[in-house]
Structure 1
Amino acid sequence: MTQRITVVPAEGRTVPDPEAGDLLPVEGRQVTFNAWWQRRQNDGDITLQTEQSTTTQQAFTA
């Protein structure tokens, strides 16, 4: 099974998305995790976005 992750470009970085053929949007995008994205993460070009459920987010704000 292919792992999907949500990546967001690091502050001030422009990151190409080879799968989509354009640049990674500022709000991030779900991509297939592979060697390309691992290298971008190692270089500090992207950060992984953790998706918390609404219930978890509400528990932290209560």
Structure 2
Amino acid sequence: MHAELQKSIDENLKALKSIRHDILMRDLSPVSHRAGMNAAQTGALIGGEVSLITSVYECIAKK
């Protein structure tokens, strides 16, 4: 009787871990996408600033 109860508990824990993993994986994708988009915006901003500074420097240096 005790072994059957322990087996049932173990099976339930395994099922709950599986469900928790599925929920985590579903929630992870949008968060990762949002983080990637934020990083891309930051990279574009930094790249634009470097380009602007370089262009202004080149214009001033050639005069």
Higher relative contact order (CA 8 A, sep 6+): 1
Which TM-score bucket, shorter chain as reference?
under 0.3
**Bigger Rg, which one:** 2
Indicate the structure with greater strand content: 1
